[in-house]
């Protein structure tokens, strides 16, 4: 007899499982030999599902890629662990991983002496692993992280959903590795600082997980300080000191000392400049001419240009205008870098010279490292920076308001008075200017005594200040001291 449809065998797709791979390594850092285990791969995130009040189980929703480093034989009760990620939104964690914290680092070179392909990796003798275990997290749709079959990746591409998924990774790793009593830190860069500040509050309120500290590199805590929109004059003064620093780097301030220049730019950006913008057409011709002249002197731009843009120098326009006379553009992520464009009558960059300078080295480095040195097999492309994710990112929680996490960070600090902040800024960062970070920190609604929990460091480089070797060495020491609970010189 022929089989009926009911007799046909049914096939089901098995649930995804963690595909973690562990390898052992050794490195000499700070004169001491470190023996450590690297564990890399994807962790399955599951969600408790109920239908009509009935529990349906823990259903797989996403697979999140991590790389964890743990020091062999360390006491988990005293050994810190640092969870790290970059930002974007849409960026994987390779920048902090291979640029600053990890036991291996990529050699990129720097302005004027960039490394050539095929690039190379070397031991990072300043690795934070000497002081803390490390867990690098790639949010969904970055690195090898993906939504599982049948789920929508877009469900994770938003402020709150991102906090919940990354927070769940941190909870899972902490629980599975017996690290609830370990000192815990979160390190983020760029939008990763937005995520880190939000996570400090989310982990406390959702799981009762209190952190020891946050490392905020190239911070953005209040997008109102960066968002050049009609009617919002706040960003113009916030960017001014960084414009001055970039102009200084390119020789437009002669032999003037950088600290003196920045002090003048900060003073002007704190008083006369925002007051002049606020007065609008009520500003007298004499006062306006004085502001134009001072803005031009500080930024390295012509008085004619400053006058034509009505005292408002938008950042992308600045990067194309500053060295137009040399037929060069300057970098957004790091204004020390210069590049060429197709012509020099443009208002906007067709490419960020700073990003282009290091993208190839980091991409080659992470692909080689994960497959060859950490023995992780995966044929998916490692998504370094997804512009699709960035463009689709949802801030629906902030409808009719600008994005800020200063309230969440302040609430976390008030509830946990032991929460410490280490904030790192680059003077030539044209993406998250240091003066905007200072402004946001000053607005935190915390009692005066908690101000002592915040330490701020500055470097003569840009957004990824660690591509500048003197800055990398000093920053590594500064963060190591922070994690150890001390302040470096």
- pLDDT at residue number 97: 98
pLDDT digits (tens, 9 = 90+) for 295-341: 999 999 999 999 999 999 999 999 999 999 999 999 999 999 999 99
Which domains does the chain carry? 21-224+358-484 (3.40.50.1820), 253-350 (no CATH)
Q: Which tens digit of pLDDT belongs to each residue from 383-419?
A: 999 999 999 999 999 998 889 999 999 999 999 999 9
Both tokens of 280, joined, read 């609008």
Residues 6+ apart with CB under 8 A from 482: 213, 215, 420, 422, 455, 488
Q: Which pLDDT does position 332 carry in this prediction?
A: 98
Q: Tell me the three state secondary structure of residue 268.
A: helix
Let me know: does 452 contact 420? Beta carbons within 8 Å: no
Structure confidence at residue 7 as a pLDDT band (50, 70, 90) = low
3-class state of residue 337 by DSSP: coil
| pLDDT for position 162 | 97
Number of H helices, E strands in the chain: 14, 16
3-class DSSP assignment, residue 202? helix
CA atoms within 13 A on the CB side of 255: 0
- Distance between CA atoms of residues 371 and 146, nearest Å: 18
What's the CA gap between 168 and 412, in Å, rounded?
18
Taking only the tens place, the pLDDT of each residue in 436-476 is 999 999 999 999 999 999 999 999 999 999 999 999 999 99
Q: What is the pLDDT of residues 214-258, one digit of tens each?
A: 999 999 999 999 999 999 999 999 999 999 999 999 999 999 999
User: What's the rounded mean pLDDT across residues 92-97?
Assistant: 98
**Tokens 């463009």 -> residue:** 391
- Predicted pLDDT of residue 353: 96
- What pLDDT score does 487 carry? 44
């Amino acid at each position: 007899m022929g089989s009926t449809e009911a007799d046909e065998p049914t096939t089901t797709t098995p649930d995804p499982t963690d595909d973690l791979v562990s390898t052992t390594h050794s490195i000499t850092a700070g004169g001491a030999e470190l023996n450590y285990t690297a564990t890399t791969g994807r962790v399955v995130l599951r969600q408790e599902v109920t239908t009509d009040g009935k529990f349906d189980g823990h259903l797989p929703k996403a697979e999140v890629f991590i790389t964890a480093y743990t020091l062999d034989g360390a006491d988990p009760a005293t050994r810190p662990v640092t969870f790290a990620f970059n930002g974007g939104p849409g960026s994987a964690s390779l920048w902090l991983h291979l640029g600053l914290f990890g036991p291996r680092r990529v050699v990129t070179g720097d302005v004027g002496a960039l490394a050539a392909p095929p690039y190379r990796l070397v031991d990072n003798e300043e690795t934070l692993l000497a002081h803390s275990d490390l867990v690098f997290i790639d949010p969904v749709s970055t690195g090898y992280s993906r939504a599982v079959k049948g789920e929508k990746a877009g469900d994770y591409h938003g402020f709150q959903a991102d906090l919940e998924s990354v927070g769940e990774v941190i909870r899972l790793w902490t629980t599975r590795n017996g690290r609830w009593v370990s000192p815990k830190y979160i390190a983020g860069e760029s939008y990763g600082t937005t995520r880190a500040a939000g996570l400090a509050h989310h982990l406390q309120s959702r799981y009762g997980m209190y952190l020891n500290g946050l490392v905020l590199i190239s911070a953005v805590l209040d997008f109102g300080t960066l968002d050049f929109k009609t009617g919002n004059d706040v960003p113009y003064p916030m960017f001014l000191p960084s414009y001055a620093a970039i102009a200084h780097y390119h020789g437009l301030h002669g032999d003037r000392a950088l600290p003196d220049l920045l002090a003048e730019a900060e003073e002007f950006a704190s008083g006369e400049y925002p007051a002049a913008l606020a007065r609008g057409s009520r500003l007298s011709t004499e006062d306006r001419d004085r502001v134009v002249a001072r803005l031009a002197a500080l930024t390295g731009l012509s008085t004619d240009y400053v006058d034509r843009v009505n005292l408002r120098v938008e950042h992308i326009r600045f990067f194309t205008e500053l060295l137009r006379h040399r037929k060069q553009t300057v970098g957004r992520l790091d204004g020390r870098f210069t590049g060429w464009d197709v012509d020099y009558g443009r208002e906007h960059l067709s490419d960020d010279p700073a990003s282009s300078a290091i993208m190839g080295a980091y991409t080659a480095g992470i692909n080689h490292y994960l497959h060859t040195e950490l023995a992780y097999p995966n044929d998916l492309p490692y998504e370094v920076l997804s512009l699709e994710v960035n463009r689709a990112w949802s801030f629906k929680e902030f409808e009719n308001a600008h994005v800020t996490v200063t309230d969440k960070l302040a609430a976390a600090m008030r509830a946990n008075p032991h929460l410490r902040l280490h904030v790192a800024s680059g003077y030539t960062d044209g993406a998250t200017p240091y003066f905007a970070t200072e402004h946001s920190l000053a607005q935190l609604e915390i009692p005066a005594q908690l101000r002592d929990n915040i330490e701020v460091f500055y470097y003569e480089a840009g957004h990824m200040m660690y591509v500048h070797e003197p800055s990398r060495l000093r920053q590594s020491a500064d963060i190591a001291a922070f994690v150890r609970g001390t302040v470096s010189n």
